[in-house]
Structure 1
C-alpha cells in the first residue's frame, strides 16, 4: 500500500480540474502537497483552499513546456520542500483540431507538456525515491492513449507515448529491483472543461466521466498500488478489439461514436 499520511505529494496541472481535486483529496488523507501549474492565480486559490483546511501546500508557477523551467523549479522544490514521495504527472493540453489545422508550435507544445514533461519530472524526483527505498510515480494518460481518433492526432500520439513511458519505466524499475511503484491512468473524456463539447453515442457504456468519481478512483488506485486504471470499464475492450483487422477495428470505433466524439469540441476558454 502507498500511504498518503505524512507523504510529500507533488501534482502538476494543479490549479484546476483533476489536479485541484487530487490536491484537496491528498491533504484530507494527511499528505502535504506541492502544486505546479502555469496559472498563478489558480494556484493561489487552491493553496488558499488547502490552508483553510489547515493543510500544508505550496504552489510553484512553471511552464511545463520548458525543460529548463521544469528543471529549475524541481531543484527549488527539492531544496525548499524536500524529496517527493508521490509524484502525480497530471498536466495536459489538447488542441482538438484536425492535424492539418494544428500549427507546428501547437504540436510541439502538446508533446512538450503531455510527454516530455514526464521525463523531466521523473528524472528530477526518482533518484531520491530510489535512495529512500520507496515512492510512487503516477502518469495521468488517457483512453486516447489506447485508441486513436480524429481531431486528436497530436493529443492521442502524446498519450500513447505517456502509456509507453509508464510501462517501460515500470519494467525498468523492476529490473533494477527498485520498490518504487507506478500507476498509469487512462480515462475516457472527463467533465472538467478541458474537453467541453465532446459527445458520446452510448452514455451507458462510455459516459462523460465526473471529476469527483475519477479522482476517487485515481487516489484509490495509488493507495492500493494498482499499476493501471482504465475508466470506464468498457474501455478495457480496446485491447481485444485491437486484435481485429484494421478495417474492423475502425468500424467498431465508428459504430460506438468514438471517431465523431470531437465533432462539437470547443474546449476550455
Structure 2
C-alpha cells in the first residue's frame, strides 16, 4: 500500500512539474526583490562581470566585486556608483588560489556581511589543441573555472545554510555541455562547474534548504574579447552574443529563480536534447553542419597586455 501511494504521489508531482514548466514558458515567473542583498561577483573588472555589477547596482544591491585587475575593478566601482549603487566594495583576489579566496572572504564577512547572492563569473580560456596546451595553462584553467567555485562555496554557503536564504550563480558555458576542438581544458572545466553546481543544488534540496537557489548559465560565445576571433557558420542560429543582453538574461534568471539558463534558449535546448539520443556520428555531423567543429580555427583571444 505504501508503495502504491508513494508511486501515485510521484506521478502526480511529475505531471504537476511538467505542467508548471509549460506555464512558465508563457507566463513569466514573479521576480524577487534583490535590493539590499549582498551580491558577490568574481571577474567584475570587465566583460559580463562588469555588466552584471551595473545591473545589480540599479536594483539596489550591495556589491562585493572581486578581480585581479585593479584598474578595471576601479572603473567598475565608478560605473556602479554612477548607476545608483550606494554600497560598493572591491577586493583584489586571485581566485585560483584557495587561501587567497578564504582570506578575502573573511575580510568581506567582517567588512560587509554575509554574501547572499554569489556569482562565480570569472573564467579564462587557453584556446589551443590539447597537445599544444601548456600544463601550466591547463592547471590554471581548472583552478579558475572550476576549483574556485569549490572555495567560494565553502566560504559563503555556510551562512546561507544557517538562514536558509541565498542564491548560487554558476557562469558555465554551452561548452560545458558538448566537447569542442581546441577547448579540451575549457570544456572540462565547464562540464565540472555544471556538475558541481547541480550536485550542491541537489544537496541543498535533500537538506531541506529550499531557500537556497541555484542558477547555472550556459551561453554560447559572448562578445567580451575572451573569445575574440571565433566565428560561427550560421550566426543567426548560433550568434556571438552581446554582453548586455546576456547580463540582462542572467539577472532576470536569478530574480525568477530559474535553475538553468541556456542562451540562445531554443536552439541549445534542441541541440543538446538531440545529443542525448542521437548516435555519436550523427551528433558530430550536426556539429560540423553548424560550424562547431571548426569554430575555434580563427580564435585569437584577448591581447596579452590584458
TM-score (norm 2): 0.86
Alignment counterpart, residue 74 of structure 2, candidates 41, 44, 54? 44
Q: Could you list the runs of 5+ residues in structure 2 that have no partner in the other structure?
A: 1-30
Report which stretch shifted further, 243-252 or 136-145.
243-252
Alignment of 1:95-174 (within 5 A): 95-174=126-205
SS of corresponding position for 1:122: helix
* Deviation (angstroms), 1:54: 4.4
Note the C-alpha offset of 1:241.
2.0
Q: Deviations over 1:55-111 (max 9, x none)?
A: 221110011111111111111111111101100000000010101111111000000
1:263 match: 297
Select between 14-23 and 130-139 the one with higher mean Cα deviation.
130-139
Matched, 1:219 2:251: yes
Task: Name segments (4+ residues, structure 1) moved above 6 Å.
Answer: none
Asked if the contact 1:147/1:238 (under 8 Å) is kept, the reply is no
Partners of 1:264 and 1:49 lie apart in 2 by: 33
Give 3-state SS (helix, strand or coil) of 2:297's partner. Answer: coil
How many residue pairs align between the two structures?
269
Instruction: Give the secondary structure class of the aligned counterpart of 1:83.
Output: coil
Distance (whole Å) between structure 2 residues aligned to residue 260 and residue 64 of structure 1: 31
1:186 is aligned to: 218
User: Distance in 2 between the 1:238 and 1:54 partners?
Assistant: 40
| Residue 53 of structure 2 corresponds to residue 23 of structure 1 | yes
5+ residue gaps, structure 1, are: none
Once residues 52 and 168 of structure 1 are traced to their aligned partners in structure 2, the CA distance between those partners, rounded to angstroms, is: 38
Looking at structure 2, the residues matched to 149 and 52 of structure 1 have their Cα atoms a distance apart, in angstroms, of 40
Q: Which of 230-239 and 122-131 deviates more?
A: 230-239
